Amino acid sequence: MSFLESLFSLEGNAAIVTGASRGIGRAAAIALASAGASVVLTGRDESALRETQSMIGPNERTHCISGDVKDPSHAMETISTTVRTFGQLDILVNNAGIIRRSAAVDYSAHDWYDVIDTDLNAVFSWSQAAGKLMIEQGSGKIVNIASLLSFQGGLNVVAYSAAKGGVAQLTKALANEWAKYGVNVNAIAPGYMETNATAALRADTKRKEQILSRIPAGRWGEPEDLAGAIVYLSSSASDYVNGHILAVDGGWLAY
Question: Which residues are catalytically annotated?
Answer: 160
Amino acid at 148: L
Positive or negative torsion for Cα 85, 88, 90, 92: positive
CA–CA separation, 144 vs 75, rounded Å?
15
- How many C-beta atoms lie closer than 10 Å to residue 11's C-beta? 10
- One-character DSSP codes across the chain: --HHHHHH--TT-EEEEETTTSHHHHHHHHHHHHTT-EEEEEES-HHHHHHHHHHH-SSTTEEEEE--TT-HHHHHHHHHHHHHHHS---EEEE-------B-GGG--HHHHHHHHIIIIIHHHHHHHHHHHHHHHHT-EEEEEE--GGGTS--SSBHHHHHHHHHHHHHHHHHHHHHGGGTEEEEEEEE-SBSSGGGHHHHHSHHHHHHHHHT-TTSS-B-GGGGHHHHHHHHSGGGTT--S-EEEESTTGGG-
